[in-house]
Amino acid sequence: MSSVEERGEVGVAAAPGSSSGGLGVVAVGTALEAVVGGPSMQEEVSIRRGEGLGPESDPDEPPPKKRMRLPEGESGKLEERLYSVLCCTVCLDLPKASVYQCTNGHLMCAGCFIHLLADSRLKEEQATCPNCRCEISKSLCCRNLAVEKAVSELPTDCPFCLKQFPRSSLERHQREECQDRVTQCKYKRIGCPWKGPFHELPAHEEECCHPTKTGTELMGILGEMDQSHSRELTLYNSIFSLLCYEKIGFTEVQFRPYRTDDFITRLYYETPRFTVLNQTWVLKARVNDSERNPNLSCKRTLSFQLILKSKVNSAIECSFLLLKGPYDDVRIKPVIHHHAFSNDTNETDYVPLPITDSVECNKLLAAKNINLRLFIFQIQK
């Protein structure tokens, strides 16, 4: 038999003009197929030689891109490896929002990064990376946008229906699409306490007994709701009333960190002197009401006091409140405080800074300075 027929027994028909080196390609392809379990080089050669030269192929078109197939089970292992590579070095969890990296490339989620900076401020130490101990700060570290994008594309389970979705689309799925997401009855405004999966909502609303309640029964429910709304309305009405005062002053204040002279120094904040309503004032703040080791506590709070530095001839009755500064993203709920300032009572008691939680407190502690806005309203007698 001819050499071409012998090659045909091997399973590959060589194209005209091809050399006998094709046997080596077939052998390598067969070996790769046995090891990897994917398509062999033999199949790729037949595709290139057979389909690529068919009558329907266009010579001007670029060749199709090759795509490597992973054996079954390899994709899951790849995801697990990516989880271990892209996780935060502090909490060992995948970041949910911003990702920061030290100068050596170690990753930290935004919450842990802010917490490290806040702890270093409380302990009067330089913040360092938990892995390599290099210095970290907001100026030395930067966000890693590539990791943020990669994490957003990794699959994760929906906590309601347990199906997998990319992290970037999970929030929309939970909010709009998931049939097992927890929802409330539309009659909750008149006291229905039902909560359940979304797919059971129509059946419940058809059988809900609250629309058939009498007016007397609903009055008690609506009374409780009115109490919570009235507290919010009272706050806003008080603010609008203060805006009608004749003497109103406001200024941007900057709390700067200092240390006490005690044997175990404590962190406190103080602003430079500022002038509002022709009087000189100072603000002071402390962490966890001067707790001995606030860095060991997970719950952190800030409290502040307003001090009048000027000498006055008569008492000055004022209302004041602190709000977030124009360039900060910290969330502060407005609370109005009152005090009558005189030469003997020139300091208010320490009052809580109305931030929402410890996460917001850590944001303030991690910053170089705390920038807020102070309003003072002088009550005319």
Residue 269 CB neighbour total at 10 angstroms: 20
Rounded to the nearest angstrom, the gap between the alpha carbon of residue 342 and the centroid of all alpha carbons in its chain is 45
**Span of 30-44, 121-135, 282-296, 330-344 with lowest mean pLDDT:** 30-44
Question: Smallest Cα–Cα separation from 160: which of 151, 150, 169, 170?
Answer: 170
pLDDT tens digit sequence for 193-228: 899 999 999 999 888 988 888 877 778 777 777 877
Superfamily of domain 75-158: Zinc/RING finger domain, C3HC4 (zinc finger) (3.30.40.10)
The predicted model scores a pTM of 0.59
Q: Which amino acid is at 148?
A: E
Residue bearing the bigger pLDDT, 63 or 234: 234
Which CATH number does 246-378 carry?
Answer: 2.60.210
**Strands (E) located in the chain:** 99-101, 107-109, 142-143, 155-157, 164-166, 182-184, 195-197, 247-259, 267-270, 274-276, 279-287, 302-308, 316-324, 337-341, 351-352, 370-378
Question: Smallest Cα–Cα separation from 310: which of 338, 277, 266?
Answer: 277
pLDDT at residue 259, rounded to an integer: 85
- Report the DSSP beta bridge partners of residue 183: 196
pLDDT tens digit sequence for 232-286: 888 888 888 888 888 999 999 999 998 887 766 788 999 999 999 999 999 999 9
Does residue 294 surpass a pLDDT of 70? yes
pLDDT at residue 76, rounded to an integer: 57
Rounded to the nearest angstrom, the gap between the alpha carbon of residue 319 and the centroid of all alpha carbons in its chain is 35
- Report the DSSP beta bridge partners of residue 286: 268, 303
Question: Among the ranges 24-28, 73-77, 200-204, 207-211, which has the highest mean pLDDT value?
Answer: 200-204
**Cβ 284 vs Cβ 304: under 8 Å:** yes
Residue 259 phi, psi dihedral angles, 5° rounding: -125, 145
